[in-house]
């Protein structure tokens, strides 16, 4: 379905939204939000026991990582140096068992973390999609599809890596770091303190990196969302781009956005490319310190050869968790940047909600009443519907006509409660539509719009969309009543013919006939035709009008039309202008009045082009 919200205000376009999105990210680039962390960690609570097991395995992995260098020291000092072959065999078996245990413990930990990660990933995306479906149409009218997709896919993937592996990995790395420091100080305090002289440089490098990384990674999330948004917009508008020969301009615009994304990513990665080699260099410096001073201590017999070898192993392992923590910090920055946007989306309030005591809409007759309705799309926006009142009797056909921007489509949006009014009441069969659930209301109200949306599924699935339990015979009967059966039967696979993206393998008229068949199968009590015959050729319009006559029979119908030839047979016609009813009556009566309706009628038929 396609719904217009009137004239687009400055700053409401997709590219303006991209600019606002990027600006918001830059403005918040230096902030840390504990609320985001709490919200994201909540997704781990259902998997507490698996995370506990993973933590236990991590502790085991850390312990085995610390044990093997010490066993090497024991092997050298107690068995190799004294030439004790029998004892060496025993320690070799213990070291072998330690490595095998380390393999299985590590594999189990990684499996559990990956399992939890995929569960968390699916849960966050499911929650996002559920929330997006509950948000009012106004949100989707003003937010770019590509940016929303980026939130659901890219940002959630970054969050998943942090939640599923980052927390446990951080604990394991910290245990290894602390354990190595304790063991090295125990084995040789003097050599350990000399080795640790590089720690102030590591702390300084980490502080410098963290100072600049947060803003850089927020910028990358902003720019990748801009690329996805621009790409989605241009692909959806490809017909217009090619029709107006704007391929070059679109390419240049996309290259600019893509270039900004590349620049932001390179800036962020440059920090890592500088930081990680710095840590590796300091690790080599520490190794050189152990070799120089440790070697001298061995020659002076103040430490054993086994201690020096263990120190070399521990120094290597000491910098591995530091590198891992630095990578984790990179992941944390990127995940925080994405997490802020994901939580912001999840926290977007649902403006159209069911009341706590909302009940199911009973089977209705179709009486519709507007009682002094005042409506605007936003609190600070102009009034779109201004003190409008009218009553439509069950089973009657009423037309809403008027110039563009008069408020006709807004009336349709209000009846289906896609938006809430600011004043007045809308009643169906004397029931305020705010007192019933939205789902029960929309099951009995159907909209056939000017540009019907068809899903990339089979024709039968599209007709059955509102009525998934309908049989094939019922689908075919609905298609016959909608004058759609003949062209469907002539299709290569009949009712199993797949609709291509955007319905491009069907004409506008064929898509409209499928939409009408869908409405017939839904059996609504109230039908809204929003420019349903606009942009249709004359031959197809005849087929659509015949189908609509069958569809309208016995139902309350509200016909919105610019082409006044389609509303001549309406029981009553309301003429809207600037959000107000300025005329009402039958077709003949309004022509006799000689006012706005008559002017529009004469203009159309004296200047049909």
Distance, CA of 488 to CA of 476 (rounded, Å): 10
**Is 226:21 a contact under the CB 8 Å cutoff?**
yes
The whole-number pLDDT of residue 446 equals: 86
**Is 56:167 a contact under the CB 8 Å cutoff?**
no
Distance, CA of 87 to CA of 75 (rounded, Å): 8
The whole-number pLDDT of residue 406 equals: 83
Backbone angles phi, psi at 427, to 5 degrees: -120, 145
Three-state DSSP string of 197-266: HHHHHHHHHHHHHHHHHHHHHHHHHHHHHHHHHHHHHHHHCHHHHHHCCCHHHHHHHHHHHHHHHHHHHH
Q: Which residues contact 412 (CB under 8 A, 6 or more apart)?
A: 3, 447, 528, 530, 558, 560
The whole-number pLDDT of residue 242 equals: 66
Q: How many CB atoms lie within 10 A of CB 596?
A: 18
The whole-number pLDDT of residue 218 equals: 66
Consecutive 10-residue averages of pLDDT for the chain (609 residues): 34 41 42 72 86 89 87 86 81 89 90 86 86 79 70 75 72 85 88 85 77 69 72 69 72 83 78 76 85 86 86 82 72 75 82 87 90 87 88 90 84 88 91 91 85 84 87 89 86 87 79 86 86 62 73 83 73 89 89 86 64
Backbone angles phi, psi at 423, to 5 degrees: -155, 150
Distance, CA of 535 to CA of 155 (rounded, Å): 40
Distance, CA of 294 to CA of 300 (rounded, Å): 10
The whole-number pLDDT of residue 313 equals: 85
Distance, CA of 118 to CA of 114 (rounded, Å): 6
The whole-number pLDDT of residue 22 equals: 44
Q: How many CB atoms lie within 10 A of CB 195?
A: 23
- Composition of the chain by helix, strand, coil, percent to 5: 65, 10, 25
Terminal Cα distance for the chain, rounded = 27
Backbone angles phi, psi at 422, to 5 degrees: -90, -25
Concatenated DSSP letters of 141-193: HSS-HHHHHHIIIIIHHHHHHIIIIIHHHHHHHHHHHHHHHHHHHHH-HHHHH
Concatenated DSSP letters of 528-563: EEESTTTT--HHHHHHHHHHHHHHHTTSEEEEE-SS
**Is 352:420 a contact under the CB 8 Å cutoff?**
yes
Dihedral angle sign, alpha carbons of residues 278, 280, 286, 288: negative
The whole-number pLDDT of residue 153 equals: 75
The whole-number pLDDT of residue 15 equals: 43
Distance, CA of 428 to CA of 431 (rounded, Å): 5
Cα separations in angstroms, 241 against 236, 247, 248, 453:
10, 6, 9, 21
Per DSSP, the three-state class of 588 is: helix
Domains and their CATH numbers in the chain: 33-346 (1.20.1560.10), 356-440+564-609 (3.40.50.300)
Give the predicted TM-score (pTM) of the model.
0.67
Taking alpha carbons only, the member of 214, 231, 207 closest to residue 340 is 214
The whole-number pLDDT of residue 413 equals: 87
The whole-number pLDDT of residue 192 equals: 85
The whole-number pLDDT of residue 239 equals: 61
Per DSSP, the three-state class of 82 is: coil
**Could you give the maximum distance between any two Cα atoms of the chain, in Å?**
120
Concatenated DSSP letters of 350-411: -SS---TT-BPPPPP---EEEEEEEE-SSTTSPPSEEEEEEEE-TT-EEEEE-STTSSHHHH
């Amino acid at each position: 379905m396609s719904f217009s919200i009137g004239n687009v205000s400055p700053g409401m376009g997709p590219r303006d939204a991209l600019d606002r999105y990027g600006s918001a990210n830059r403005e918040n680039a230096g902030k840390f939000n504990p609320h985001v962390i709490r919200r994201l960690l909540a997704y781990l609570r259902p998997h507490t026991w698996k995370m506990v097991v993973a933590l236990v395995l991590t502790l085991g992995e850390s312990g085995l990582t610390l044990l093997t260098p010490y066993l090497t020291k024991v092997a050298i000092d107690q068995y190799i140096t004294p030439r004790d072959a029998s004892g060496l065999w025993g320690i070799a078996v213990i070291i072998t068992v330690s490595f095998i245990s380390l393999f299985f413990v590590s594999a189990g930990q990684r499996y559990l973390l990956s399992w939890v990660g995929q569960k968390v990933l699916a849960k966050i995306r499911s929650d996002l999609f559920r929330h997006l479906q509950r948000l009012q149409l106004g949100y989707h009218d003003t937010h770019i599809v590509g940016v929303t997709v980026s939130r659901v896919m890219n940002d959630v993937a970054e969050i998943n890596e942090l939640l599923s592996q980052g927390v446990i990995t951080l604990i394991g790395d910290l245990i290894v770091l602390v354990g190595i420091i304790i063991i090295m100080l125990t084995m040789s305090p003097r050599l350990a303190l000399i080795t640790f002289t590089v720690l102030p440089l590591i702390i300084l490098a980490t502080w410098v990196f963290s100072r600049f990384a947060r803003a850089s990674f927020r910028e990358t999330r902003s720019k990748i969302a801009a690329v996805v948004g621009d790409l989605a917009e241009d692909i959806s508008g490809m017909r217009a781009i090619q029709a107006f020969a704007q391929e070059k301009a679109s390419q240049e615009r996309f290259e600019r956005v893509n270039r900004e994304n590349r620049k932001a990513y390179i800036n962020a990665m440059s920090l890592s490319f500088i930081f990680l080699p710095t840590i590796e260099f300091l690790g080599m410096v520490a190794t050189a310190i152990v070799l120089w001073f440790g070697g001298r201590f061995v020659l002076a017999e103040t430490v054993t050869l086994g201690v020096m070898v263990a120190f070399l192993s521990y120094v290597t392992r000491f910098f591995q968790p530091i590198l891992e923590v630095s990578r984790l910090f990179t992941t944390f920055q990127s995940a925080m940047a994405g997490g802020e946007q994901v939580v912001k989306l999840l926290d977007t309030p649902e403006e159209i909600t069911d009341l706590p005591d909302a009940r199911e809409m009973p089977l209705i007759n179709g009486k519709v009443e507007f009682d002094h309705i005042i409506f605007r799309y936003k609190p600070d926006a102009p009034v779109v519907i201004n003190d409008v009142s009218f009553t439509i009797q069950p089973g009657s056909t009423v037309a809403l006509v008027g110039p563009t921007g008069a408020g006709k489509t807004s009336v349709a949006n209000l009846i289906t409660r896609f938006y809430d009014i600011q004043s007045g009441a809308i009643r169906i069969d004397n029931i305020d539509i705010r007192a019933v659930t939205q789902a029960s209301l929309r099951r009995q109200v159907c909209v056939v719009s000017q540009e019907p949306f068809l899903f990339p599924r089979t024709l039968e699935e599209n007709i059955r969309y509102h009525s998934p339990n309908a049989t094939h015979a019922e689908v075919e009967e609905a298609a016959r009543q909608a004058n759609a059966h003949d062209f469907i039967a002539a299709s290569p696979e009949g009712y199993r013919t797949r609709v291509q993206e955007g319905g491009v393998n069907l004409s506008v008229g064929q898509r409209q006939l499928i939409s009408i068949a869908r409405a017939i199968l839904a059996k609504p009590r109230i039908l809204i035709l929003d420019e349903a015959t606009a942009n249709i050729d004359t031959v197809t319009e005849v087929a659509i009008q015949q189908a609509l006559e069958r569809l309208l029979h016995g139902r309350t119908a509200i016909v919105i039309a610019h082409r006044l030839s389609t509303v001549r047979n309406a029981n009553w016609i309301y003429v809207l202008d600037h959000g107000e009813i300025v005329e009402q009556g039958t077709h003949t009566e309004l022509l006799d009045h000689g006012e706005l309706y008559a002017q529009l009628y004469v203009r159309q038929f004296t200047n049909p082009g």
